[in-house]
Amino acid sequence: MKLFIKSFSILYFSILSYSQSDNNYKSYGELFESSETINYNLEKDNFLNSSSKLKIEGEILSSCPMKGCWMKISVENDTVLVRFKDYGFFVPKNGIEGKRTIINGNISVDTLSVAQLQHYAEDAGKSKEEIDLITEPEITISFLADGVLIKE
């Protein structure tokens, strides 16, 4: 019986310490380890439009206030638009601005159409006048995430 209790205690605390190893991050989408994020400035050109998955860390600037179906993050000197694979998961609609995040997936350079930009502006609660000022497509760095960690 003592052996059972001792074994159970070791197992319990091992699991507990493993679950806390991601420094209080809340997970959305597919689970992944937070270790081994890339040095964004040094490596981004190697990964742009490749099929290789990568992990990057940044600060959340905003998220879709309608559904939580996208977020913008600041990584080094870039703003990255993060969308979620197959709309399979969402992040909180508010309260995450300024928090650290680690995202896992694929990075690319995209051209967002005027219609897409207007849709994102509408989601973000912009006025009709602001939306009507969007008349040109925009080249942006996009990230299709299959998993997201947000610091609690």
Tally Cβ neighbours within 10 Å of residue 28.
Answer: 20
Segment among 12-21, 22-31, 37-46, 118-127 with least mean pLDDT = 12-21
pLDDT value, residue 46: 81
User: In this structure, what token pair is assigned to residue 84?
Assistant: 């979620």
Name the pTM for this structure.
Answer: 0.79
Q: Which residue has the higher pLDDT, 18 or 110?
A: 110
Q: Give CA–CA dist 94/150, Å, rounded.
A: 13
The CA-based angle 101-83-126, given to 5 degrees, is 95
More confident residue, 90 or 125: 90
Best CA proximity match to 54, nearest among 78, 70, 33: 33
Type of residue numbered 17: S
Min mean pLDDT across 1-5, 46-50, 136-140 is at 1-5
Enter the tokens of residue 99.
């928090």
| 11-15, 51-55, 68-72, 125-129: the lowest-pLDDT one | 11-15
pLDDT higher for 4 or 120? Answer: 120
pLDDT of residue 12: 42
**What integer pLDDT is reported at residue 43 of this predicted model?**
82
Confidence of residue 22 (pLDDT cuts 50, 70, 90): low
Instruction: Tell me what pLDDT residue 48 has.
Output: 79
Structure confidence at residue 4 as a pLDDT band (50, 70, 90): very low
- From the list 48, 43, 46, the residue with the least C-alpha distance to 142 is 48
Mean pLDDT, range 62-83, rounded to an integer: 95
Domain spans of the chain, in order of start: 23-151
Tokens of 120: 């994102």
Asked if pLDDT for residue 76 goes beyond 50, the answer is yes
What DSSP element (H or E) covers 130? helix 128-132
Instruction: Decide: helix, strand or coil at residue 35.
Output: coil
Cβ pair 81, 141 in contact under 8 A: yes
Q: Which CATH architecture has domain 23-151?
A: Beta Barrel (2.40)
Residue 66: count other Cβ atoms within 10 Å of its Cβ. 13
